[in-house]
Amino acid sequence: MRRTSVGIERYIDKYILLYIGILGVISCVFIYSSTKVFTQYSGSFVTKQMIFYVIGFTFMTGIAFLKMEHLKKIDWYFYALIVLLLIGLIFAPESIAKPVNEAKAWYQIKWLGSFQPSEFLKVAFVLVVAKLIESHHEKTDNQTFLSDCLLLGKIAAVTIPPILLVYQQPDTGMIMLYAALLIPMLYFSAISKKILISFALIPVTILIAIIIAYFQFPHFYSEQLVGQLSPHQISRINGWLHPFEHEDSAYQTRQGILAIGSGEVTGKGVLGNNVYVPEKHTDFIFATIAEELGFIGGALVILLYFLLIYRFLLIIVRANSTFAYAAGAGIIGLFAFQICQNIGMTMGLLPVTGVTLPFLSYGGSSLLSNFMLIGIMLAFIKIDYEETDVLQ
């Protein structure tokens, strides 16, 4: 049966709305549970999270109704704005940009809380890098080694400077997210895989050297490598690698493991969490969910994320645009990595990096930037109402 009416479904995937809506309910319930049981938290986190969800949904819907041509027109303006905000953090007084855990990464906004420009740099990278990839291929008739290197140079020129600004804050967790976003975009940019492998060998070689130094040259590792990091970063690394030797730095990880394990199969019930975990309503919200809903609840949350990413893949499969392919690959890679990293660190499998769990953790900047990314993804939906729609 053919469809002749044109409505909001042309721009909004109802399943994506459903999954995000469920995640929103889960977020508010367990933010409330995390802050209600342990009364050291002050402020109405749930109310603010609801406000951020409303604002984020508005952003997402507005972006979804934009055409790709409109996205391409605003990319550099948005990129320039975020870079200027990152530079501003360097010179901003502590009255409006107070360091948190030795990182100067937030602007303090009265009534709303903190604003983190580095979160929105993800959105800027998606737009600008995808536009660079598309423009390069439109202007290049024959792909050569030099043309591929030129494209890599362009991407490096627009991504490395702001990444260095984020690194000096310091915020290594956010840099990991940028890498998770940019690597898939490069892979689907049609750049020769030989060139990409050659560049990939550099970080792989460095990683192997660090592992060898850790086991074979512990003094050099601790003094010359780890010693160059900030005390906060050193604490997190030691807490991950030696959780029982560094009780203070590994406290959050150990408590997260205890909370998740104590939930067993079915959990303790909503508001039944009794294991204290620092930042349980933000970075470690999965620990609350697993503690109260058990293995079943945690598995259902992971399933929701899987279904959400699956919808993203369906959208990209239908897209007939280099810009959409590149941007979509970056968004999917970013969300997949962020979900794995956050859940992995709450279970002690990965180091604690301060990476939030998308749409569940409390935090305005993270939530709004993620909504904007989904808005971009929804903007790629092109439905021919006279044909069978693969999204249905």
Q: Of residues 56 and 41, which shows the higher confidence score?
A: 56
Mean pLDDT lowest among 47-61, 62-76, 133-147, 232-246: 232-246
At 222-233, the pLDDT tens digits run 777 766 666 666
Distance CA 1, CA 386 (A): 9
Binned at pLDDT 50, 70 and 90, residue 170 comes out as confident
Binned at pLDDT 50, 70 and 90, residue 41 comes out as low
Overall average pLDDT of the 290-298 stretch: 95
Angle CA(84)–CA(87)–CA(93) in degrees, nearest 5? Answer: 115
Overall average pLDDT of the 210-214 stretch: 81
- Give residue 3's pLDDT: 42
Overall average pLDDT of the 203-227 stretch: 78
Distance CA 322, CA 127 (A): 12
SS3 annotation, the chain: CCCCCCCHHHCCCHHHHHHHHHHHHHHHHHHHHHHHHCCCCCCCHHHHHHHHHHHHHHHHHHHHCCCHHHHHHHHHHHHHHHHHHHHHHHHCCCCCCCCECCECCCEEECCCEEECHHHHHHHHHHHHHHHHHHHHHHHCCCCCHHHHHHHHHHHHHHHHHHHHHHHCCCCHHHHHHHHHHHHHHHHCCCCCHHHHHHHHHHHHHHHHHHHHHHHHCHHHHHHHHHHHCCHHHHHHHHHHHCCCCCCCCCHHHHHHHHHHHHCCCCCCCCCCCCCCCCCCCCCCHHHHHHHHHHHHHHHHHHHHHHHHHHHHHHHHHHCCCHHHHHHHHHHHHHHHHHHHHHHHHHCCCCCCCCCCCCCCCCCHHHHHHHHHHHHHHHCCCCCCCCCCCCCC
pLDDT higher than 80, residue 218: no
Contacts of 174 (CB under 8 A, 6+ apart): 105, 118, 119, 121, 166, 355
Overall average pLDDT of the 243-257 stretch: 76
pLDDT higher than 90, residue 1: no
Distance CA 128, CA 130 (A): 6
108 forms beta bridges with 114
Overall average pLDDT of the 196-220 stretch: 82
Distance CA 344, CA 350 (A): 5
pLDDT higher than 60, residue 339: yes
pLDDT higher than 90, residue 118: yes
Binned at pLDDT 50, 70 and 90, residue 389 comes out as very low
Q: Of residues 249 and 299, which shows the higher confidence score?
A: 299
- Give residue 245's pLDDT: 67
Nearest of 269, 267, 281 to residue 35 by alpha carbon: 281
pLDDT higher than 60, residue 6: no
Overall average pLDDT of the 354-364 stretch: 92
Distance CA 125, CA 131 (A): 10
State pTM to two decimals: 0.88
